Structure 1
Amino acid sequence: MKKTFITLLSICSLSLAVYAQKQDRPNIVVILADDLGYSDLGAYGSEIATPNLDRLAEEGVRFRQFYNNSICAPTRASVITGQYQHKAGVGYFSNDLGLPAYQGYINAESLTFAEVLKANGYITLTSGKWHVSGKDQSYPWQRGFDKVFPKNENGANSGAPGFGKVETDAEGYPLSAYYSTNVINAHAQQFLDEIKGESKPFFLYLAHTAPHWPLVALPEDVAKYKGKYDKGWFAVRKERFDKQKKLGILTQDAVLSVPDQDLYDWDKLSFDNRRSWAKKMEVFAAMVDRLDQSIGSLLEKLKDNGQLENTIIIFLSDNGAPAEDLVKWHGGARINEGPVGTVGSYESQSKNWSYASNTPFKAYKDYLHEGGINTPFIAWFPQKIKPNTIVQGTGHIIDLAPTLYELARAKYPKSYQGIKPHELPGKSLLPVLTGAVDTIDRPEGLFWERAGNRAARIGKWKLVSTWPSYSWELYDLDKDPTETTDVARQNHAVVSQLSQAYFKWAKQNGVVDFAQLEDKEPTSMRLFRKSKEQESTPPAFNF
């Protein structure tokens, strides 16, 4: 009897310990936007209404510097695995270019955060854009997720939910029940309802398609911004820049980056052209607005379900705002079937408005200057994060995985299903999130490569090279965060140090000279890149 009592007591004690551990470990929500520029949130300087994300920023922490991989699929590969994109197998994009580092989908050695967290007792959920599958491999339901939307191959590969026929109103605008942002969010909330009785903690990866082109929005959201962008991109950029200084996102001595030579002069455009361009930004703003509304709805669902109290929420974007002009690229002029904003239209804000979206930085998505790789980053966790904190940060998407694993007290396995996983190259962001330090210290540096564009950062120094050039630019980001002054000629030793570190990293991660891969590049991507290289003389009008 005594032995039985002791055994029961031991079992009860163990059960209570396990229960306490489950209760203590936080729920985790990672929200990824698509093509959102650095300044497109109110908390980062925008005039767009984003009260829910602004609330998370005011009650949490914002990073001034948080880096991505400059374009969609490579960024997602790193977010999901904690690996540099080449190491994960997605070095170029979601295309197979014939080498392991460029196969276009996540390899087995790069464990997803769902695989690791599920093995450590988490319920794993995802809704939205995946975009790192291929050859019937690495779909989210194959890589550790318990609940997935959209759960079909086309949806996973294209990065867009497969809705079938989209219902529209009389003018061609989508009905709210069919609008992708609403649909992605609704499935995430459905998953939260389905698990709300569970004792296990959960992990939700919510990957929105907004505000990626084509520009399509709900009419009630577009109406809020009518006339707001009639002033043009130069004026909007200046207003955002001034607001960023007031918010503390920028220092008072910060300066704007130098504008591209091929940006259109707003004042020289015809009235009809200005109105056409302003409408594009009205629709883009409406897409960001609806994204924020969906996050507000998610917060309410978490609160109503009793799931919010012990939840950390992280928000970021996959790259800077894009330079793509669909009128010139991807057959946009031929495919476009309706007014901008409506279903069937095929237009983008292009680099003119993206120049404002990426305030105060230089360049765009796909490039490795700050405008392409520096994303807004917000983390909210009232239990551990001091409210309304702005830090330098200098985080990178490879840091998300080790951060989440530390939060979850999750063990990263030495072996998984008979495979030895790659080691994690990133660092936990917890010291910055909790206010112990202002920035992540990494003397080994950070590195990038995308379609021949290359960059390295060690300390305050950043080295950049833009394909097809092999020459290096050098910037002192402490003095010149907007990359206005190339100081490579004055600092040959620094250029040598960073370039050697870059080539060492490239070798370790399977990066090859892009000249070896250029002939394997998909035609549409090659034509787009060539068009960007050739855009040097500004035309008189936008069409």
Structure 2
Amino acid sequence: MKKAILIITLLFSGSLFAQKAEKPNIILILADDLGYSDLGAYGSEIKTPNLDRLAAEGLRLREFYNNSICAPTRASLITGQYQHKAGVGYFSNDLGLPAYQGFINNQSLTFAEVLKGAGYTTLMAGKWHVSGKNQSQPWQRGFDHSLLSENGSYFDQGDYGSDEKKYYYEDGKPYKLEPGSFYVTDVITEHAVKYLKDQNSEKKPFFMYLAYTAPHWPLHALPEDIAKYKGKYDIGWDELRKQRFAKQKELGIVPKDATLSTKNADIYDWSKLSYDQRKQWATKMEVFAAMVDRMDQGIGKVLDQLKQTGQDKNTLIIFISDNGAPAEDWVKWHNGATRNTGPVGTIGSYESQGKNWSYASNTPFQAFKDYVYEGGISSPFIAWYPNKIKAGSISKGTGHIIDLAPTFYELAGAKYPAKYNNANTFPLPGKSLVPVLLGNDTEVKRGEPLFWERAGNRAVRDGKWKLVSHYPSYTWELYDLEADRGETTDVARTHHEEVSRLSTAYFEWTKRVGAVDFSTIEDREPQTMKDYRKSKVQDPVSTGGGGLQ
């Protein structure tokens, strides 16, 4: 009788093993410099069958935000804090203030530190970009295993960055590879698959942070991938943008009556380029597409490994990008052209796609990486969790990278500690996405605005309203994103009360997170970053621009 009661009790309440098995594995995949429309599931012609499958079997959000550029996005993503609060308010450079020290502080816990405390194996492969002064490396911030590979070239470890970044690092030790014998996207994938194989014997849930460097410049790709796109981009960026916008409407990523942002004045006129110039520019986009393609192939291998071990049935996968497609021109920045000793795509080249193609990558939005218009801060968002997330669903969302940490902690049953290693931790400002992912909510019920500041560029989003200013201007622009997500019509002059309300909220936020007026610290900006900002300015084709320099 007692035995029967025990069996019935286990059936209804669940055994300890069953309860443990309910904790999901979590994989967070981050692309670098991928535009909003660069995946098939978001309107692209680039072959991304694995990510498209995750989208078809999962959820896509129309509105999901990042921090417009690499390091500040990663700091917020990894900690769940606004980037200034985490210590990376500007970039991975120390500008002399706690909010701008350039690496994650001890009061901002990484998701590896929190999830490890909840019984997770913590794994990382790829780009980190939030460490400095030999502090806040992944092996110092809660990761059981990590491959750190964040320097420039895809074929050569030692051609870019400081001495400490000459090599990749695995678990804190140099991981050296022979130049020309590897392709970094494949190296990241191989380590991710290896870590998944190794952890399977531990019988613990795992968290993996898979941070590809693709498709960030330099434009480097494998010949077999480039071959798939030969001639694909001879149509030019204007026609490509039209095609992607039409597909986005068909997919339901943008409404049928969506507004397309106004073309930037300095985007080259494709029709005025010579035949040779068109071919040179088309080659750039062929290589960019090949880089995205190879990343998707790697994600397919990760999915295959999950399926082989049966872990796919209890794994949440989130895919996002760290910022919009970039405006910078490597040829004009930091003497980059001196590295061009071979065709675009090869080990000797060092090109970027430039804002002309990024104009199409960020369809249907305005502006680029480092700007806080929609083109700079909007990311594709795919969530996949078999039998938990409704297949083929698309929601508004209005999520932000600060929301992912509380989402993971809720699903994992992880407690966010008030104190960790004798440091008082900062509270999490984000909201869990669980009601949107697994419930009936179509967007985050935040109850407060979202805020951005990056090198003087500022923005506030609250409901349908978005307030924006672009440095060095201090003039506020106001957009109604429900009617005009392309940010084509500034309505600040007719809605003074909203400008006042949102700007007041912005300045109150800066006090809470430690953000300062950029003009007060601009003189501390490294010369390379000053050159970077200047490199985004492009001469119109009418004044002699339009070809490769």
TM-score (norm 2): 0.92
8 Å CA contact 1:129, 1:160 repeated in 2: no
Distance 1:195 1:347 in 2: 38
Name which of 64, 83, 94 aligns with 1:85: 83
Aligned equivalent of 2:470: 466
Aligned equivalent of 1:172: none
Distance 1:158 1:47 in 2: 35
C-alpha change, 1:166 and 1:260, in structure 2 (3 Å) is farther
The residue identity in structure 2 corresponding to 1:272 is D
2:344 is the alignment partner of 1:346:
no
Distance 1:231 1:536 in 2: 20
1:478-506 Cα deviation digits (max 9, x unpaired)? 01011110111111110000000000001
Aligned equivalent of 1:201: 205
8 Å CA contact 2:108, 2:426 repeated in 1: yes
1:375-422 Cα deviation digits (max 9, x unpaired)? 000000022100000100000000000000011011111111111110
C-alpha change, 1:430 and 1:512, in structure 2 (3 Å) is same
Name which of 226, 232, 257 aligns with 2:230: 226
Name which of 420, 423, 426 aligns with 2:424: 420
Name which of 104, 114, 117 aligns with 1:116: 114
C-alpha change, 1:446 and 1:157, in structure 2 (3 Å) is farther
1:245-299 Cα deviation digits (max 9, x unpaired)? 0000011111210011111100100100000000000000000000100000110
Name which of 49, 52, 62 aligns with 1:51: 49
C-alpha change, 1:208 and 1:309, in structure 2 (3 Å) is same
Distance 1:418 1:149 in 2: 28
Distance 2:163 2:511 in 1: 30
1:5-61 Cα deviation digits (max 9, x unpaired)? 9xxx9xx99xx8543332110000000000000000000000000000000000000
The residue identity in structure 2 corresponding to 1:454 is R
Task: After TM superposition, list the pairs within 5 Å mapping 1:432-511 onto structure 2.
Answer: 432-511=436-515
Aligned equivalent of 1:103: 101
Aligned equivalent of 1:403: 407
State the identity as a percent.
65
What SS is found at the alignment partner of 2:312? coil
**Shift in Å, 1:308:** 1.2
The residue identity in structure 2 corresponding to 1:130 is W
Distance 1:313 1:532 in 2: 34
The residue identity in structure 2 corresponding to 1:367 is Y
Aligned length: 527
C-alpha change, 1:55 and 1:538, in structure 2 (3 Å) is farther
Task: After TM superposition, list the pairs within 5 Å mapping 1:151-230 onto structure 2.
Answer: 158=165, 161=168, 164=176, 166-168=178-180, 178-230=182-234
Aligned equivalent of 2:35: 37
Distance 2:534 2:361 in 1: 23
Task: After TM superposition, list the pairs within 5 Å mapping 1:163-312 onto structure 2.
Answer: 164=176, 166-168=178-180, 178-312=182-316
Distance 2:539 2:108 in 1: 38
The residue identity in structure 2 corresponding to 1:263 is I
Distance 1:284 1:313 in 2: 24
1:126-166 Cα deviation digits (max 9, x unpaired)? 00000100111100000000011138998997598466555
What SS is found at the alignment partner of 1:395? strand
Aligned equivalent of 2:21: 23
Distance 2:313 2:438 in 1: 17
2:139 is the alignment partner of 1:148:
no
Name which of 352, 358, 363 aligns with 2:362: 358
8 Å CA contact 1:132, 1:157 repeated in 2: no
RMSD in angstroms over aligned alpha carbons?
Answer: 2.3
Name which of 334, 341, 344 aligns with 2:338: 334
The residue identity in structure 2 corresponding to 1:308 is D
8 Å CA contact 2:406, 2:430 repeated in 1: yes
Distance 1:139 1:337 in 2: 34
The residue identity in structure 2 corresponding to 1:100 is P
Distance 1:297 1:38 in 2: 24
Task: After TM superposition, list the pairs within 5 Å mapping 1:316-331 onto structure 2.
Answer: 316-331=320-335
Distance 2:99 2:205 in 1: 34
Distance 2:150 2:477 in 1: 44
Segment of structure 1 superposing worse, 510-519 or 332-341: 332-341
What SS is found at the alignment partner of 2:420? coil
C-alpha change, 1:501 and 1:105, in structure 2 (3 Å) is same
C-alpha change, 1:38 and 1:339, in structure 2 (3 Å) is same
The residue identity in structure 2 corresponding to 1:248 is G
Distance 1:352 1:512 in 2: 32
Distance 2:390 2:34 in 1: 25
Distance 1:509 1:150 in 2: 29
The residue identity in structure 2 corresponding to 1:224 is K
2:385 is the alignment partner of 1:381:
yes
1:78-102 Cα deviation digits (max 9, x unpaired)? 1100000000000000000000000
**Shift in Å, 1:327:** 1.4
**Shift in Å, 1:305:** 2.0
Aligned equivalent of 1:171: none
8 Å CA contact 1:386, 1:435 repeated in 2: no
8 Å CA contact 2:75, 2:81 repeated in 1: yes
TM-score (norm 1): 0.93
Distance 2:299 2:412 in 1: 23
Aligned equivalent of 1:313: 317
Structure 2: tracts of 5 or more residues without a match: 152-160, 170-174
8 Å CA contact 1:465, 1:473 repeated in 2: yes
**Shift in Å, 1:537:** 7.4
8 Å CA contact 2:128, 2:148 repeated in 1: no
Name which of 394, 399, 402 aligns with 2:398: 394
The residue identity in structure 1 corresponding to 2:229 is Y
C-alpha change, 1:531 and 1:195, in structure 2 (3 Å) is closer
C-alpha change, 1:294 and 1:539, in structure 2 (3 Å) is farther
1:405-445 Cα deviation digits (max 9, x unpaired)? 01101111111111111000000001111241111122310
Distance 2:498 2:166 in 1: 40
Distance 2:383 2:530 in 1: 37
What SS is found at the alignment partner of 1:529? helix
8 Å CA contact 2:129, 2:150 repeated in 1: no
